[in-house]
Amino acid sequence: MNTAAQKAATESRSLEISLDQTARPESRPIGFRWEGNRLIQIGIDETNFYALSMLDPDTAQSLRDNFLDFASEGKYAMSTVSQSAFSINYSLSQHPTRTFDKAWVLNALALPSFRSQKGCIKSFFIYWRGRYPAAITDDALELLAKPLRQDRRPRNALSDDPEKGWLTDIEYEALLQCTWENYDNGKTGTQGTLLRLLSMQYARRPSQLASLKIGDFRDSFRDNGVQIGRQIHFPGAKDRDAEDNFRDSKEEVHPVADHLWDLYQIQRHELKALYESIFNSSLTSDDLDQLPLFASKAQVELAIDELTRHYGLDWKSNLGHRLFHINPAWITRLISWKTNAPMYFSEINAHGTMPMPPFSHRTGKPLVVTATRMRHTRARQLARLGTPKHVLSFWLGHTVHQSLDAYYSDPAEEARNINDAMGVALLPLAMSFTGKLLDDQSQASRADDPESTLEFATSEKLKEVGKCGKHSFCATTTIPIPCYRCKHFEPLVYAPHDEVLNALLKRQAEEKAMIKIGGLRKLLTPIDLSSDIRAVQACIKRCDQRKAELEAVHV
């Protein structure tokens, strides 16, 4: 073929390639549809727009049509569009109107739900008005476009509020024990227990937990010759570069401890049985890895129906579709101990009586548990362990380090630390009036009571460190560390208090050690022994002073 012929052939191919340039774009169903006045978010939720009947009929129909077009543009995530629709509908129900005017906007802006979604709502009205001039009045749109004044509300990341701030160590430990006890007693199934433990351990958002797939738990493997331990790959959240809100963000990878891995294995086995019973066919390991880690029979059946009817897809070829995943709202309710559902085979609580969370020692009421509190609590725990900000930022999936400042500086916590420090500093003075040092056992207030003896275990032996000066149940313990902070403690001057201190220092060092694969269980219950350490140090100081006095007498 000569040069001219080759050139002609190339141009012909170029023309063929460009022939479809202006073809009708391939349409695909969006994640919403209208059924009368009900807005359906496919497979997730629905909003009854009964307030639409109050609008002018032409305006109501235009809103329906343009809302679907606005949602199809993909500028906002489906969840944001859905929440904005709910906010508009709620504001209409609270302040009925036939026209979206300035008075309606003023009333709507007084509603917290509307204010939280104002950005998306403003964009929708601008979009709608460009296609339907009667959608909203000029002065109403101008008011809606103005920036909101920031509310100066107390940050929940701080610890002042016992029902919103982070949990204390005592509350966290009680919640952990309650979670395991309910699992051991059969009151909560594997799914609910694994969900609550993942929330306590990693503090991921409900949307991230709902988006987890079975394949996101990965066993150890080698990477460039390095052995990598077991991991969990959380779908990211709040990623500005993400195109959608379903698994489009960067993954957040974390190590997995043995107890969580064991629970996951049980969950995987139970889910395989569930999916195969619904699909009426066996699943390969690859198929199973595409499916949700947390599921309900009702959601799986709904996904099959919507994929077939609404999207026109072969559901067997789309096992990784978002429709198979349960609504994050169920995750929120389960973490909050408001439900044990969704269960595998029904939305009914299959485990009988609904378990309650433990009582808070601060309020005397059942502990208020939320995904947000778990996030604040874990961040605060890691910050107190000395985790650098950039590491904590990665761990939480944050992109702005400044948002972590509250976890490292909390006025209420600082006040408590000062109070604890002053209490320990004044301990010798308090003991000089209400307690006493013992040169020998005969000087004890309860010298003849064997139950008053306090011992410390060291080198497989029990060594006496002092006496309890008050009849109390706590005095029966053979681990007398808390006694060093008690005004009724009567320490022996020549007891091995140094060994108690060394044991405490060693234990605290272990708590502050770097996070290690397989060692995460202890991070569920971080321990701060600083108060005990200072109390033992104060006791040693007083004993040393008394020893010096006794030696001076014998010289």
Same domain, 204 and 139: no
Burial class (CB in 10 A: 0-12, 13-18, 19+), 120: buried
Same domain, 344 and 430: no
Same domain, 222 and 348: yes
Q: Which of 145, 171, 197 is the last residue of a domain?
A: 145
Same domain, 457 and 536: yes
Same domain, 202 and 344: yes
At 522 the pLDDT is 44
The first and second tokens of residue 497, run together, are 């208090």
Report if residue 373 sits inside a domain. Answer: no
Same domain, 427 and 550: yes
Same domain, 484 and 418: yes
The 252-255 sheet, strands edge to edge: 217-218, 231-234, 252-255
Q: Which of 334, 352, 370 is the last residue of a domain?
A: 352
Q: What is the pTM of this model?
A: 0.60
Report if residue 297 sits inside a domain. Answer: yes
At 262 the pLDDT is 92
The first and second tokens of residue 404, run together, are 């972590």
Domain count of the fold of the chain: 3
Report if residue 436 sits inside a domain. Answer: yes
DSSP states of 207-259: HHHHT-BGGGEE--EEETTEEE--EEEEPP-S-TT-SSSSS-SPPEEEE--HH
DSSP E strand stretches across 395-485? 453-458, 461-468
Q: Which of 324, 352, 380 is the last residue of a domain?
A: 352
User: Which of 96, 133, 90 lies closest to 113 in space, CA to CA?
Assistant: 90
Residue 100 β-bridge partners: 136
Report if residue 318 sits inside a domain. Answer: yes
Q: CA 193, CA 174: separation in Å to the nearest integer?
A: 15
Same domain, 442 and 494: yes
Report if residue 465 sits inside a domain. Answer: yes
> Which residues in the chain come in under a pLDDT of 70?
1-29, 149-160, 221-227, 237-249, 341-353, 398-435, 457-461, 470-482, 511-528, 555
The first and second tokens of residue 80, run together, are 């944001």
Residue 376 β-bridge partners: none
Report if residue 520 sits inside a domain. Answer: yes
Same domain, 323 and 193: yes
- Please, what is the average pLDDT of the chain? 77
Report if residue 426 sits inside a domain. Answer: yes
Structural domain boundaries enclosing 135: 32-145
